[in-house]
Structure formats: structure tokens, C-alpha cells
Amino acid sequence: MALELNVLALSLLFLFASNAKAQSDNGVFDVMKFGAKADGKTDISQALMAAWRKACAVASPSKVEIPEGEYMLSQVTLSGPCKASVEVQVRGTLKAPADPSKFNNGPTWVTFQRIDHFTLSGAGTFDGQGGKAAWTQNDCKQVGRCNKLPINLRFNAVTNGLVRDITSVDSKQTHINLLSCKNITFANITVNAPAQSPNTDGIHIGRSSGINITDSRISTGDDCVSLGEGSQKITVTRVTCGPGHGISVGSLGRYREDPVFGITVANCTLINTSNGVRVKTWPASLEGIASDMHFEDIVMVNVSNPVLIDQEYCPGNKCTKAPSRVKISNVSFKNIRGTSATRVAVELTCSNGIPCENVEIGDINLSYIGTEGPATSRCSNVKPIITGKQTPLACGLTL
């Protein structure tokens, strides 16, 4: 009897070991081995979740793989903490449900949260399947409808991460959203949505620090990169933006917010955008701080409002006319060159309640491509530090 029990135990152990090996090869968990089908119509959410749970439980570095092909994926949340570092490698195209009503548990399609040492990689695509069915539901500026539609990718409390080589297409709302994250690099990211897609920010950052965005191409219907409250130690380099609303700090001051500081935007190119590099705060705002922000070596191609501080930001013009209480200080705009689609190429509109301090304008060379005359600048409630050459002449200076 004892011999039979030992044989049975060994058989079960062998079966479990064989099953584990079938699902994992050296810590690699392929969703196809968990029942996924690359037929473009079978929902792989359960297969992805099963592969994730296995990978997250491994005590050594592991990887979840989604091979080439087309997959349907419903709403999923991949949560930690995990026992070791985990990578999700997407080589195929993941397609979200086209109908916004299919998202019932919060406005996000794919969420990664509470993970340390996480990588999202591969030449794959996250297709949010936006379009008229979604975008017509969310036109805050024109009609005041501000429905919370699904975000393609959300990162909550992810630390020490790398996101590289992925593409986000036609999100119903923001493409990539970060909240309470630390030390993440986004490299070689592609975001693609039409200029007419409302509120589809490329990458939005809030209450996060140590975030680097580099070598990326963002085309969308809102800010290419937006840095919200609590954005600290953020670097944006070698990003090409357009169409879109530009690279923005803010809008700030609508709610009680953490300070924004340590922002560097450098070596970027903006093409046919409705704004260039800007800082925007609401009028009649709560108190806030935005400081140590630097915009350098920027190329503008047919950009409206290339250099902009706007402390009267009010889309829809339905705001209380009171000064912004967000204090802006230690800001520089240096070596910004190219063409402006509006005659006012440099505009610094600071709060008349708390004027901007220590704003430097250096080596600006922006030409207006219209027929209304040469490029001009406009400034209020600020006495900028002027360095280098200025075209147009900054803030009312004369020859």
C-alpha cells in the first residue's frame, strides 16, 4: 500500500512538473500556452491574467509573452507585488472593445499597478479602437461633456520600470497615464491618433517622480506630453510632437495639489501643433507651486503659440475672473527656433496676484509665417531675464 501511495505521489509530482514546463520555458510564460488565440476575435484576457499570475509568483526574473498576431483583449488589471522582476513583451496587436460601454470597472483598458522592477517591451501595438463612437462622447471644451472614457494604458504605483518600443493607437481618451510612479523610462514610444480626437493626451503624468520620456513620436488630439500636479524630476528629450496641443506643464491649480518642480524638456521637435512648450494654470485657482522648469533646444515647425505661460487658462471661457494663485518661478526658455503659425510667438501671461519670478528668455529665433506682419511677443506680470539673441524682441524691448 505504501509503495502504491509513493508511486501515486511521484506520478502527481511529475504531472505538475510537466504542466509547469508546458506553460513556462525558463521563466517565460507564453499566453498561447494558456489558451490565447491570435485570431483577432477571441478574448485573451483570461489567458493573459493566468500567465501574469504565474510569472508574478516566480522567485526569479520572468517574462509574459504575447507573440505576433492579432488579439482581442477586454479590460484587465495586472497587479503586484511580484516576487521578482517581471517583463511583459508584446509583439502582436491587442485590440480593445470598440464599444465604450464594455468598460464597467473604471476608465482604463490595461492597468499595471503596484509592481517594482517592471518592463513593458516589444514592437507590439495597443489599439484602443477609439473613433466617433467614443470621441463624440467627450467634448469638454465645446459642449461641456466630460465623460470618463477608457485610457489605453495606466501605470499606478509602478517603480523602477522601463517601457520601450510599444505603440498606442486610437485610445478613447488618454493614451498613457501615470499616477504615483517612480523611476520609469519610456523609450521609443509611438502614440498615434488624429488631431480631431478630443482629450487623447499622449503621456500624462501625475504625482510621479524620476520619469524619463525619450526618443518617441507622439501624434494626437491633445497634449503630446502633459505634466500634472506632483510631477517632479521629469525629463522629456528627443520627442517629436504633432499633431497635438504641444508639451505642457498643467493645467494646474484647479484642485489642492502637490508642487511641480524639476522639469526638463530638451531637444524636441513640434510640428503643426496648437501650442509649443507651455505652462498653464487656472484662474481663481487654489494655491500651488511650479518651479525649476527648463525648455531648451526646441524646434518649432508651423506651431501656434510656440512659447507660452498662460495663467489665465480657461477652455470654454467659463471661469471666474480672479488671479491664479499658482506661483511660477525659475523657468527658462532657451534656444527655441523655427516658425510660428501665430503672430505672437512668445507670450508670458503671468498671474496679476502672484507674478512670475526668475523667468529667463534666451536665444529665441521664431519667424511668423503669416501675412499680418513680423512676429511679436507679449508679456504681463513678469520681468524676464533676457539673454542672447531675440527674434522677436522679448516683452516689449526695442532696438
Q: Which residues are catalytic?
A: 245
Contacts of 317 (CB under 8 A, 6+ apart): none
Percent helix, strand, coil in the chain (nearest 5)?
A: 15, 45, 40
Identity of the residue numbered 274: S
The answer to whether the beta carbons of residues 328 and 352 sit under 8 Å apart is no
Residue 122 to residue 69: CA distance in whole angstroms:
13
Residue 283 to residue 285: CA distance in whole angstroms:
5
Cell of 73: 483583449
377: β partners: 346
Cβ atoms within 10 Å of 271's Cβ, excluding its own: 16
Residue 131 to residue 304: CA distance in whole angstroms:
26
The answer to whether the beta carbons of residues 27 and 54 sit under 8 Å apart is no
The answer to whether the beta carbons of residues 327 and 285 sit under 8 Å apart is no
- Three-state SS sequence of 169-235: ECCCCCCEEEECCEEEEEECCEEECCCCCCCCCCEEEECCEEEEEEEEEEECCCCCEEECCCCEEEE
The answer to whether the beta carbons of residues 51 and 66 sit under 8 Å apart is no
The answer to whether the beta carbons of residues 252 and 260 sit under 8 Å apart is yes
Cβ atoms within 10 Å of 221's Cβ, excluding its own: 21
Cell of 187: 523609450
Count CA atoms closer than 13 A to 163's CA, side-chain side: 26
206: β partners: 179
Cell of 112: 499595471
The answer to whether the beta carbons of residues 155 and 175 sit under 8 Å apart is no
Residue 112 to residue 254: CA distance in whole angstroms:
27
